[in-house]
């Protein structure tokens, strides 16, 4: 990697941090106002919060265009609406997948909500933003934990149901990586997956969301993300190491 790429990547990272902090401030402020148990107040706050998040992604797209432009080739049906409830599923190879999906669907469908591991709430700045934007945090219990405390069985499902209940009041897009983890050759071999480029699907999160929201979700978007050159790390992404992405 050239010195220029490293400099551009460092500047881009700084811009992303500043943009994130800038939008996190109003997001957190309105999230606390949203705690006031008045229906109209909560609806207005939800509208403002989603628009702040949409603006956050829009500015990120501008930063990308300036410091590490790339081509995103999108194919397939693109007749979307911000007034529908969507379930978006995709393959998962890199943390960059999330950034690509946010850019592709920004201002086309309702703001994407991701299922996140409980530990991610402690990520500086972003964890608070995710909490304020009602991202559903999921806590998984290991087999050993369930053996020690059988009462924990079903708790993860209960938490997911509660997290999704709030999405019934307005259009939302729920994003789910059905593989449950990032694809690697080692994981693929360990699972003996029957799919050439995918791990075995874990339908739990998707099933929980559909169960909690019932008839509200009426659109399913099945996305395939493909990196022609190599699956990028976040640093490679922001330093210009990614020239093209294909999204189908």
Do residues 53 and 226 lie in contact, with contact meaning Cβ atoms separated by under 8 Å? Answer: no
Give the confidence band of 102 by pLDDT, cuts at 50, 70, 90. very high
pLDDT computed for residue 118 by the predictor: 78
Lowest mean pLDDT of 19-33, 102-116, 199-213, name the range. Answer: 199-213
Give the C-alpha separation, 158 to 215, whole Å: 19
- Of 145 and 238, which is predicted with more confidence? 238
Give 74's contacts (C-beta < 8 A, 6+ positions apart).
Answer: 104, 247, 248
pLDDT computed for residue 154 by the predictor: 67
- Of 71 and 218, which is predicted with more confidence? 71
Tens digit of pLDDT for each residue in 195-214?
A: 888 888 887 667 767 776 66
Q: Which two tokens stand for residue 219?
A: 């659109």
Q: Which residues pair with 117 in a beta bridge?
A: 138
Picking from 215, 210, 212, the residue whose alpha carbon sits closest to that of residue 88 is: 210
DSSP state, 36? S
Crossing angle for the helix pair 3-33 and 39-67, to the nearest 10 degrees = 170
């Amino acid at each position: 990697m050239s010195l220029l790429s490293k400099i551009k990547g460092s500047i881009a990272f700084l811009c992303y941090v500043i943009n994130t902090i800038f939008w996190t401030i109003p997001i957190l402020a309105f999230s606390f106002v949203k705690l006031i148990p008045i229906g109209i107040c909560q609806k207005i706050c939800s509208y403002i919060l989603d628009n702040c998040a949409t603006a956050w992604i829009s500015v990120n797209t501008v930063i990308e265009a300036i410091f590490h432009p790339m081509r995103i080739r999108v194919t397939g049906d693109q007749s979307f609406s911000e007034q529908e409830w969507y379930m978006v599923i995709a393959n998962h190879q890199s943390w960059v997948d999330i950034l690509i999906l946010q850019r592709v669907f920004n201002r086309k469908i309702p703001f994407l909500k991701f299922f996140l591991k409980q530990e991610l709430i402690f990520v500086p700045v972003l964890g608070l933003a995710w909490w304020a934007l009602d991202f559903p945090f999921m806590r998984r219990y290991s087999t050993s934990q369930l053996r020690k405390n059988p009462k924990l069985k079903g708790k993860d499902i209960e938490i997911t149901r509660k997290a999704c209940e709030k999405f019934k009041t307005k259009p939302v897009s729920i994003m789910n990586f059905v593989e449950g983890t990032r694809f690697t050759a080692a994981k693929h071999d360990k699972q003996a997956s029957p799919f050439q480029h995918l791990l075995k699907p874990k339908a739990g999160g998707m099933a929980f969301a559909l169960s909690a929201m019932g008839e509200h979700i009426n659109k399913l978007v099945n996305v395939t993300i493909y990196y022609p050159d190599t699956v990028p790390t976040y640093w490679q992404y922001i330093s210009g190491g990614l020239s093209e992405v294909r999204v189908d």
